[in-house]
Chain A
C-alpha cells in the first residue's frame, strides 16, 4: 500500500531506512520525533504521510532559501499544490497564497509568519492534518541554530487544533532531542533515531603547510579522484579562485557557485552539475540545500565549516546513491583563526545593542528592529538575532534589563558556538578513528567500521581514483546546431547519458 504510493508519487521502489517507520507512525496520528541523517530523504516522510492523511500539511522551515528549494523539489515530483509563505514575499503574492489555502496540500511557512493573526485564522478554517517542524534543532537553546521563534510553535499547534506533530532533524545529541520534545509539547511521542553515520562516506583529514601547499594538494586530489565532486570554501572570492585554479591545471569542467551570483546564473550552474555537464563545483555553503544529486563521489573542504553539524550536512551531499564516496578536509594552522572572527560578527556589539534598544520603542512592529539594527551596522544574522529576541523579551522588561538579558544571551551563544568550533578543530587533529570520535559527539557508538572508514583506519585514496575519462565537451557550437539540439527531437539525443 505505502509502496504503491511511493512508486506512484515519487517513482521509487523502496524506502530508505527509517522512512517507512516514520510515515506509519505519523499516519497513525502519533507525535513523531525523527532523526534521520542528511541525504536520507526526510522530506519524503511528510510528503507521503500527507497523501495518506488527506488534508493540509504545514511545514515550518527556518530559512528562506531552504524553503524555496523545498518547494521546487516537490514541484519536481509533479506536485503543484504546494506553496511557501514568508515575510519576504510581496504582499499580493502572500494574499494569493492565503486565498488558495484550501486547494493546497503542502504549505511551507517560516516560524515568524505563524505569528500572523490572519494566517492563523485562515489555517483554522482548513483541515491541518500534520504539523511538521523541519530542522527541529532550532527549537533548542542547546542547539547550534537556536531560533526563539521556534519556541512559539507549541502554542501555534494548539491553536490549529493540535494536529499530530512531526519533528525532523538530521543532527541532534541526546540533550537537544529531549529539549525539542519538551518545547514542542509532543506528549505522545514516538522516537525514531537513526545514526548520523553515513557508512559509505570515507573520512579523511589532511594538515598542510600554508595556503600554497593546500592549493597544490587540491589540484592533486581533484585530478586523481573520481567525480562529480563538490569543494567547499569559506568565501565567495575563494570559490572563484579555486575554480580558476582547477580550470588552469586540470582537464576538469569546473564552475564556481556562491550567493553573490545572480539567481539565474546560479541555477544554470546547479542544472549543469545535476546534468553532469560539469564535474566540479567550487562553492560556499550556499550550494546544495536543494541539490539532490545521487552520484556525488567526493566532497572536499578547502575551508572547514563552523561546526560538526554543518560538516555532516555538507559531506552528506556525497554518496546519496549509497555507493562509496569520500570526504576530505584540508587545513592549515592559520585556518583556525578566521571562523572565530566570523562567529563574533554574527552578534551585535555592545554599542550596536545599545543603539538599537535606544531607538526601538516598545510595541512597535518588530520588523523595525531588524531595520534599525542594519542601520547601525549589524550583520544580517545579528539583525535577525535582535529582532527575534527583542520581540520576545521587550514586552516584559525595561531597556536596562533588556540590554543585560541580551548581553548575557550573546555571551551564552558565543560560548556555545566557540565550543562547537573547538570540537570540530579537535576532531581534525584527532589521531584515532574519526568515525568513532564523530559518533561520540552525538552520543552514539560505532558498532562496526565500514571497509573504507577513515585515514586512521587504513583508508586508501586509490580506491576513489578516477575511472571514467572526462568527456570532451563542445562548450560553444554554431547557433544553428545548438538550436536544433534544444528543439529538434531528431537531433536532441546529444549528450544523453547511457
Chain B
C-alpha cells in the first residue's frame, strides 16, 4: 500500500460512508465551497484542508478504483463510499508504516504557512549567497510580492549579523520540531552551492513516498507557525515572516456580505441589496463563522436553540445534517445547525 492509498482510505473512513470519494479530493485540494468547508468540521478532517493542492481528479480516481478492486472499500447507495472490514484491517496494519505528523493543521494554518515558507526559503537563499557577496542566483521563489518584502526586510539588517542571528534562530526552532520535521525543513532550503531537494528526491533518500513528504512538510510548516505564534518572543527574526491572515481567505462574495454585516444589516437587508437569495447569505455567514473563531454565532442562533442542537449532537451517530434535524423541533432550521457545528464539533 502506498502512502496515498493509505491517506485516501483514512479519509474515507473519516467520512463514515456519507460522502463520495470526491469529498476527499476537494478536502485535500482545499476547495473553498461551503460544502467542503462544512465537511471539514463535521467530520473533523479540517487539518487536511488544502494540504495536497496538486492532487488531480484522475489520480484519486485511480486510487479509488484500486481500493474498490482490493475490497478495501465498497460503494453504497448514492455513490457514497464506505470502508469495509477488510479495509479497516488494512488501515490498522499500516498505521505504523506511514508517517503522518500530528501537527497538520491545514484549515487554520495553511495560508500563513505557505507565505511563511516562501519568505523563509527566499531569505535563507539570499543570506546564504550574500555571505559570499554573490547576488547572482536564480531565486527559488518567483512571486514579486515576496521579493518586495525581502528587499525591505534586508534593509533593516547588517548582513553579517543577519546570517548569525538567522542560523541561531533556525537551530533553536529545529530543536523544537520533531527530528524528521527538522530534516525535511532544512533539506527543502537552498543556499550557495547547495540546492534544496524536491519531494521526490527526499522520498527516495528517506525511503518514503513523495506524497508523504509533501504532507509532512506542510505539517512541519504548520507546526512552525504554531510555535512562532505562541513563542514569538524567542524568534525576533522568524516571527516577522508570519503575517496575520487577512480577509482574503474568504471568497469575494462572502467578504462583501461580511462588510454589510459589519454595518449592522440583517440577512434580508443584505439579500435584497445584493439581489441574492437569503440562503446564499446564510451560506456566507456559515463560511465566515468557520473562518473567524471570534465571530458571534450566538447573534444568529437563540440560546435555547443552540443548546437544543448541542444536545441533539450528542445523540446522533451520523454526521448527516438531515439526521440531526430530525431530532429537533421543526422551527430549528439547517442554518442554525450548521452555525452551531462551526463551534461544536459534534460527537466522537
Name A's B-contacting residues (CB within 8 A): 68, 72, 76-78, 93, 247, 255-256, 261-265, 267-272, 274-275, 277, 475-476, 478-480, 482-489, 492, 494-497
Contact = CB atoms under 8 A, between A and B. Distances in A.
B33 interface: no
A492 B166 CA distance: 15
23 contacts: A68-B142, A76-B136, A261-B198, A262-B54, A264-B140, A265-B198, A265-B200, A267-B139, A268-B195, A268-B198, A271-B137, A271-B195, A277-B194, A277-B195, A475-B201, A476-B197, A476-B206, A478-B183, A487-B131, A487-B191, A488-B163, A494-B193, A495-B193
Interface centre among B192, B199, B206 (most CB of A within 10 A): B192
B167 A265 contact: no
Contacts of A271: 137-138, 140, 190, 195-196
A479 B185 CA distance: 8
- The dominant DSSP class at the A interface is helix
A77 B135 CA distance: 9
A93 B145 CA distance: 10
Contact of B163 (A72, A269, A476, A487): A487
A337 to B, nearest CB: 24
Nearest to B140: A267
Contact of B128 (A265, A487, A496): A487
A482 B186 contact: yes
Contact of A479 (B166, B183, B192, B194): B183
B138 A267 contact: yes
B4 interface: no
State which size class the interface on B falls in.
35 or more
Contacts of A496: 193
Given A77-B136, A489-B131, A483 B186 contact: yes
Contact of A270 (B136, B138, B163, B197): B138
Contact of A484 (B54, B139, B140, B167): B167
A176 B190 CA distance: 44
A44 to B, nearest CB: 15
Contacts of B54: 262
Given A268-B197, A482-B187, A484-B167, A476 B137 contact: no
Contacts of A255: 198, 200-201
Interface string B25-45: 000000000000000000000
B212 to A, nearest CB: 15
Nearest to A97: B144
A271 B190 CA distance: 9
B20 to A, nearest CB: 25
B59 to A, nearest CB: 11
A272 B195 contact: yes
Interface of B: 54, 124, 127-128, 131-132, 135-142, 144, 163, 166-167, 170-171, 174, 179, 182-183, 185-187, 189-202, 204-206
Nearest to A263: B142
Contacts of B194: 275, 277, 482, 485-486, 494-495
B236 to A, nearest CB: 16
Contact of A485 (B137, B191, B196, B198): B191
Given A262-B54, A475-B197, A480-B171, A486 B182 contact: no
A331 B33 CA distance: 49
Contact of A488 (B137, B167, B183, B185): B167
Given A262-B54, A488-B163, 16 more contacts: A77-B136, A93-B144, A255-B200, A271-B190, A274-B138, A275-B194, A476-B197, A476-B206, A478-B183, A479-B182, A483-B170, A483-B186, A486-B128, A487-B128, A487-B166, A487-B170
B174 A479 contact: yes
Contacts of B206: 476
A495 B128 CA distance: 14
Contacts of B183: 476, 478-479
A342 to B, nearest CB: 20
A391 B339 CA distance: 50
B171 A483 contact: yes
B191 A486 contact: yes
Please provide the 4 A-B residue pairs with the shortest distance between their CB atoms, ordered closest to farther: A486-B191, A487-B167, A495-B193, A271-B195
A489 B167 CA distance: 11
A129 B292 CA distance: 53
B124 A486 contact: yes
Given A476-B187, A476-B205, A268 B196 contact: yes
A186 B54 CA distance: 47
Contacts of B166: 487
Contacts of A93: 144
Contacts of A492: 128, 131-132, 191-193
Nearest to A480: B171
A431 B185 CA distance: 54
Contacts of A479: 174, 179, 182-183, 185-187
Nearest to B185: A479
Contacts of A487: 124, 127-128, 131, 163, 166-167, 170, 191
Contacts of A489: 131, 163
A60 to B, nearest CB: 22
Given A268-B198, A275-B195, A475-B201, A486 B140 contact: no
